[in-house]
Copies of this chain bind each other. A is one copy, B any other.
């Protein structure tokens, strides 16, 4: 298929809508991003990339990082992870405390904020400290991206921490239910650090290859996780990857994916490719408005879908 032409069509079709989204404004570092940016990248199993727009521009990956921390936690804790975190869609906004209280501090899944904070806590346990844990998460991201320059934007991380009351509330609530082992501020700080990692769509589409290829990097042959684990991560992306618009994403796009409030989205076509798209303006559910639109166009035009 002529993916390059398809990407070229997509950027034409979505550009008029770039002004419609609303950039995340809860911290200054995100608020000041120019909303009229767009990028989309595809990475094939042989490393070939098709790209359009500002595919080398770095942006804050935010909740996309939850895919990477979940990968590590699942790798280390396997089914034991599910003593502390479920794998069900929540049916609620990403930062809601309601369900967390009703369900006694056990987050529904690793892709809502409470769940990702809990995964971070598990990784701090595993590595024996938040500094080393953060370093290892970053190493993992660099490894799957085959790029040692990837790093976190400390200004964003600090700013997140200064405005992170909602996440502090989630972490304290889990702690009150004995479902958080480390100091609340340590866990939330590390959580914000890996949310503040900056990558481009080129990097992210390449980073997703291990999930598209059932746990093994198709270029380096490095085995990151087992086949069954990779499939399960894809399943959780499909059912929970877009907060309370996950069903809509499955319905209209039909691929496992995960969005971030920085406007990025990653997705995989199993056994074929990694995808990433970026447009900073968000829709009402906190997912990239034009990014979602671009992915819908992509699967419509290509017929690619897991269904």
Q: Does A257 contact B (CB under 8 A)?
A: no
User: C-beta contact mask, A249-267 vs B, less than 8 Å → 1, else 0?
Assistant: 0111010100000000000
With A88-B246, A91-B108: A176-B165 Cβ-Cβ less than 8 Å:
yes
Chain A count of residues within 8 A CB distance of the other chain? 50
Q: Which of B90, B91, B176, B245 contacts A169 (CB 8 A)?
A: B176
Q: Could you say which residues of chain B place their CB within 8 Å of the CB of A89?
A: 88-89, 91, 239, 246-247
Q: Could you say which residues of chain B place their CB within 8 Å of the CB of A245?
A: 88
A307 and B91 contact, CB distance less than 8 A: no
B254 and A250 contact, CB distance less than 8 A: no
Stretch at the interface among A29-37, A46-54, A95-103: A95-103
Q: Which of B165, B175, B228, B252 contacts A184 (CB 8 A)?
A: B165
Instruction: Give the docked Cα–Cα distance between A166 and B97 (Å).
Output: 12
Instruction: Give the docked Cα–Cα distance between A246 and B166 (Å).
Output: 28
Instruction: Give the docked Cα–Cα distance between A189 and B160 (Å).
Output: 24
Q: Could you say which residues of chain B place their CB within 8 Å of the CB of A252?
A: 232
With A246-B89, A247-B89, A306-B306: A172-B166 Cβ-Cβ less than 8 Å:
yes
Instruction: Give the docked Cα–Cα distance between A297 and B207 (Å).
Output: 31
Q: Does A168 contact B (CB under 8 A)?
A: yes
B270 and A306 contact, CB distance less than 8 A: yes
Given contacts A97-B101, A166-B176, A231-B305, 20 further A-B contacts (CB under 8 A): A88-B246, A88-B248, A89-B89, A89-B91, A89-B239, A89-B246, A89-B247, A90-B91, A165-B175, A166-B172, A168-B172, A169-B172, A232-B252, A235-B250, A235-B251, A236-B250, A236-B251, A238-B238, A239-B251, A270-B307
State the A residues within 8 Å of B (CB): 86-92, 96-99, 101-102, 108-109, 165-166, 168-170, 172-173, 175-176, 184, 228, 230-232, 234-236, 238-240, 244-248, 250-252, 254, 256, 270, 300, 305-307
In the complex, 6 of the A-B residue pairs with CB atoms within 8 angstroms, ordered by the A residue number, are A88-B245, A166-B172, A232-B254, A234-B307, A235-B247, A238-B239
